[in-house]
Structure 1
Amino acid sequence: MDYIETWKEVMQRPSDFYRKMPTTGGYAEPLTFAAISYIIYGLLIAIFNRGMMEDMYGGMGVRGFGFSTIITIAISIPIMGIISLFIGAAVLYLIYKLLGGTGTYEGTVRFMSYATAVQVLSWIPIIGFIVGLYRIYLYIVGGMFVHNISMGRSAIAVVLPYLVGFLLVMILALLIFSTVAISDTFI
């Protein structure tokens, strides 16, 4: 696997890439791609956002954001990223199945793994938000080809977990707010 060529194809021509991407063949190649993307992201976050992290954790007695911290971040981010990739793929796979998708869990892991290409740029302030949106687009396109469904259904499958999460946060905030308001009334 040529990481740089694959990265460029995913970022520049996602429809062509996902159309040609095998949906079977094991997890090794796509997960290697994802791990490299996460390692690059972890290193760039640790190196270029050091000052911000020292400010953020400095109040808790953390000083000297050194080499060992950079290595720890560079190792932990890929591990957490791969774990979250498998969990996210399970959620999306189920939603795609409910929407009539015909793809496999392996295919879902594969397209999500290649969508981690955005991680290489997501450490940059403001650009990180934009490529985060682009990742959603990559998920929609990848899901469309892997699960053989329309772009609209794929968009619903990808956006649905975000909407459910947002609604749960809003309900929790309302519950907390109403509990605080009620307790203030009785004081």
Structure 2
Amino acid sequence: MDYIETWKEVIQRPSDFYRKMPTTGGYVEPLTFAAISSLIYGLLAALFNREMMGGMYGMGGGGFSFSTALMTVIMAPIAGIISILIGAAIIYVIYKILGGTGTYEGTVRFISYANAVMVIYWIPIIGWIFGLYEIYLYIVGGMFVHNVSMGKSAIAVLLPIILVFLLAIIIAVLAGLFASSRIFPF
């Protein structure tokens, strides 16, 4: 696997990439690609986002140490792969409900390659914009892997995001109600 060429093709020509991407062939190559993207993210975030890294690991926002950077570099690929496998399972089920014909393996593959944007996440503002582009990559990848329309693919990708936001709002509202009431007097 040529990481750089694959990365460029996913970012620059996602429709062409996903159209040609095999939906079978194992998990090693796509997950290795995603792990490399996450590793690069971890390295760059540890090197350039020192303030963020200190705050993330509970060091008061200003602390930075070699151990924090090392932890970030090690944990980024592990957390990335775990989130791909779990996210793919959730999205796969939604695609199936919407009539998609793809497989779980194909779902893992397109999500793994969509993680190419991880390389850019560490850059303030630009990283956030590429986060939106990653959603687009999910939608395009899902269209080809599951043989569905862009609308159905968008539903499959956006539904979990919307449900998580709604759940967070419900929890925040309930927490506020419980905190302001005498139902739980602690």
TM-score where L is the length of structure 2: 0.92
What's 2:31 paired with? 31
* Cα separation, 1, equivalents of 2:36 and 2:27: 14
What's 1:147 paired with? 146
* Cα separation, 2, equivalents of 1:171 and 1:64: 35
Instruction: Tell me the amino acid that sits aligned with residue 52 of structure 1.
Output: M
Structure 2 unmatched ranges of 5 or more: none
Cα RMSD after superposing both structures: 1.8
Q: How far is the alpha carbon of 1:25 from its aligned partner?
A: 0.5
Q: How far is the alpha carbon of 1:121 from its aligned partner?
A: 0.4
* Cα separation, 1, equivalents of 2:129 and 2:141: 18
Matched ranges for 1:66-85 at <5 A: 66=66, 68-85=67-84
Partner-residue secondary structure (3-state), 2:101: coil
Q: How far is the alpha carbon of 1:177 from its aligned partner?
A: 1.4
What's 1:58 paired with? 59
Q: How far is the alpha carbon of 1:64 from its aligned partner?
A: 5.2
Q: Is residue 119 of structure 1 aligned with residue 118 of structure 2?
A: yes
What's 1:157 paired with? 156
Q: How far is the alpha carbon of 1:55 from its aligned partner?
A: 5.5
Q: Is residue 167 of structure 1 aligned with residue 166 of structure 2?
A: yes
* Cα separation, 1, equivalents of 2:17 and 2:54: 40
Q: How far is the alpha carbon of 1:118 from its aligned partner?
A: 0.2
* Cα separation, 2, equivalents of 1:63 and 1:172: 31
Instruction: Tell me the amino acid that sits aligned with residue 59 of structure 2.
Output: G
Deviations 1:129-186 (A, max 9, x none): 10000000000000000000000000000000011111111111111111122229x9
What's 2:49 paired with? 49
What's 2:7 paired with? 7
Deviations 1:77-133 (A, max 9, x none): 100110110000000000000000000000000000000100000110101110000
* Cα separation, 2, equivalents of 1:6 and 1:90: 24
* Cα separation, 1, equivalents of 2:52 and 2:142: 36
Sequence identity percentage:
67
Matched ranges for 1:98-137 at <5 A: 98-137=97-136
* Cα separation, 2, equivalents of 1:41 and 1:64: 17
* Cα separation, 1, equivalents of 2:116 and 2:101: 25
Partner-residue secondary structure (3-state), 2:182: helix
Moved over 3 A (4+): 54-60
TM-score where L is the length of structure 1: 0.92
Structure 1 unmatched ranges of 5 or more: none
How many residue pairs match? The answer is 183
Q: How far is the alpha carbon of 1:54 from its aligned partner?
A: 3.3
* Cα separation, 2, equivalents of 1:64 and 1:113: 30
What's 1:19 paired with? 19
The answer (yes or no) to whether the contact 2:51–2:63 under 8 Å persists in 1 is no
